Amino acid sequence: MTKKCKKYTWLTIALVVLGLGIWAYTRWDVWFGNPPEAPYTASKTPTRVLLTFGNDGELSRMVSWMCGDKVDENAVLLLADSTDTVRVKAIGEVFESRAGKAAYYRAELKGLKAEHTYSYAVKTNGTLSKWYSFTTSNPESESFSFLYMGDVQDTINGVANILLKKAISRHPEVEFVAFGGDLIERPTDAYFAETFRSIDSVCTAMPIVNITGNHDYLKYLIRKCERRFALTFPYFLKGMEERNDNNHLFSFVYHNTQFFLLDSERGAYFLLQQKSWLKDRFDECNTKHKIVMLHHPLYSVKNKNNNLIERWVFNDMIQEAGVELVLQGHEHGYTHCTSYEEPLKGNECRNPPLYTVSHCAPKNYNLKPTERFSPVLSGSRYYQVIRVDEAAVTMLGYDANTQELVDSVRIINK
C-alpha cells in the first residue's frame, strides 16, 4: 500500500470514529440518561393503596400499599362483609431507591365469594387507612368488559386522572383496568405519586393490572427495573421468586379468558427466557379466549424495522396459540393491524390476532404507517373498552378527550 493510500485509509478511519463519537454524544442521554430523583420521605400513614389480582385463582385479590420506612411486623388488612371481619397478615419489605426509602406491603385475599361486595382497610404502625370496597364477579359468566390504556406517563399535575374517571363513568360495566406500560413518566417517587393521583379511587375499587414499559426502567448498559415496581404491582413477585429471575411476567384467568403479561424492555437473552415461560403458559391454557399484553408493538407503526427482536421471539408462538388480541403501547398513537400486509376491511377480524397500539399520554409521536395499519390516529389521547363474550372479543376505541367512538372491531376466532 502506498503512503497516499495509507493516509486516506487513516483519514477515513478517523472520520468514522469522529462521526460515531458525535452520534454517541448526541444520543447518550437517550441511551443512558436517568433524571435525578428528588429526596423524599415516605408517609407515616398508609398511602398508595392498590387493588389487583392475586396468584390464587380468579377469586383471589392482592392489596398493596406504602407506609413509613421500616417494616411493621403487625401490619394487617381488615376485610369485612355483611357478616364478618377478618384480619389478613401483610408482608412488608423496605426498598431503598436513589433518593429515599419506603416500606411496601402486600396482603393476598384468597377464596373470595363470587358476586360479593367486600369492604377493606389497611393498618400499619397503628394507623388505619380509609375503608374501601370492591365487588367480585361471577367466574361462570361468559361475558365481561375491561378498560385498556396504553402509555399514560402524565406530567406532574396532569389530567390523566380526569380522563380515566370520565372513561369509567361512561363505561360503568368495566370490571378492571389494564395499562400497557409506561404508566409513570420516570421511575422516581414524584412520578409514582402522580400516578397514584391519576388512578386514585379507581385503583382501590377495581383490580388494576400493569406491565413494564421502557419508562419504568433505569437506563444502564443493561437496563434495570427497580424492585419497587413489583412491590407496587405485587402479582409479579411470586413468579419472579419461583423462576429466580427479574422478568416481570404474569398470567391470570378471568372468566373464559387467559391474559399473558410480558416484559418487552429487555435484551434478547431475557426475552428468550420469557418465550419459554409463555410457551408453558400457552400449553397449559384451556380457556376460550387469549389476550397478550406487551409494551413494544410487534408491528411498529413508527418504523417498520422497530422491535424486530420482540417480533422474532414472540410472534410466531402468539399466532400459533390462537391469541385473539395483542394489546400494546409505546408509539403514542392509535391504530391496529393483523399479520397481513393489507389493512383490515370492515369491522370484523376473522384472521386474528389483532394487534393494537394505543396511548393516553400528553406526548404524540410522528408515525410512519405502512398500508397494514388502519385507522391511524394521533394528536389526542385514547383508550379501549374490550368486551368479551362466548363467541368473540370486541374492541371499542375511544378518544379520551371527547369520549367519541373512533374504532370498533369484532374479533372472531374460528
pLDDT in tens, the chain (414 residues): 566 666 666 666 666 666 655 654 565 455 556 888 999 999 999 999 999 999 999 999 999 999 999 999 999 999 998 788 999 999 999 999 999 999 999 999 999 999 999 999 999 999 999 999 999 999 999 899 999 999 999 999 999 999 999 999 999 999 999 999 999 999 999 999 999 999 999 999 999 999 999 999 998 878 899 999 999 999 999 999 999 999 999 999 999 999 999 999 999 999 999 999 999 999 999 999 999 999 999 999 999 889 999 999 999 999 999 999 999 999 999 999 999 988 888 899 999 999 999 999 999 988 988 899 999 999 999 999 999 999 999 999 999 999 999 999 999 987
In three-state secondary structure terms, 193 is helix
C-alpha–C-alpha distance, residues 186 and 30, integer Å? 13
- Would you state the pLDDT for residue 6? 64
Handedness of CA 140, 133, 294, 94 (dihedral sign): negative
- Would you state the pLDDT for residue 2? 67
End-to-end CA distance of the chain: 67
Q: Is 50 exposed, middle or buried (0-12, 13-18, 19+ CB in 10 A)?
A: buried
Write out the three cell numbers for 245: 429471575
| Cis, peptide link before residue 353, omega less than 30° from 0 | yes
Strand pairing class (250-254; 289-293) = unpaired
C-alpha–C-alpha distance, residues 74 and 124, integer Å? 7
Say whether pTM exceeds 0.85: yes
Of 118, 123, 125, the C-alpha closest to 85 is 118
Of 335, 361, 412, 6, the C-alpha closest to 152 is 361
Phi/psi at 411 (nearest 5 deg)?
-100, 115
- Would you state the pLDDT for residue 276? 97
Altogether, the residues listed in the chain come to a count of: 414
Write out the three cell numbers for 414: 374460528
Of 53, 59, 124, 61, the C-alpha closest to 91 is 124
CB contact at 8 A, 388 and 144: yes
C-alpha–C-alpha distance, residues 327 and 297, integer Å? 8
Radius of gyration of the chain (CA): 23
C-alpha–C-alpha distance, residues 260 and 238, integer Å? 15
User: Quick one: DSSP state of residue 140?
Assistant: T
Write out the three cell numbers for 58: 380468579
User: Reading across the β-sheet that carries 325-328, which strands appear in turn?
Assistant: 250-254, 257-261, 289-293, 325-328, 354-357, 334-337, 376-377
Q: Is 264 exposed, middle or buried (0-12, 13-18, 19+ CB in 10 A)?
A: buried
- Would you state the pLDDT for residue 3? 64
Q: Any residues with CB less than 8 A from the CB of 246 and at least 6 apart, and which?
A: 225, 240
Q: What one-letter code names the amino acid at 346? A: G
Handedness of CA 213, 37, 203, 160 (dihedral sign): negative
- Would you state the pLDDT for residue 205? 97
Percentage helix, strand, coil for the chain under 3-state DSSP, each rounded to 5 = 25, 30, 45
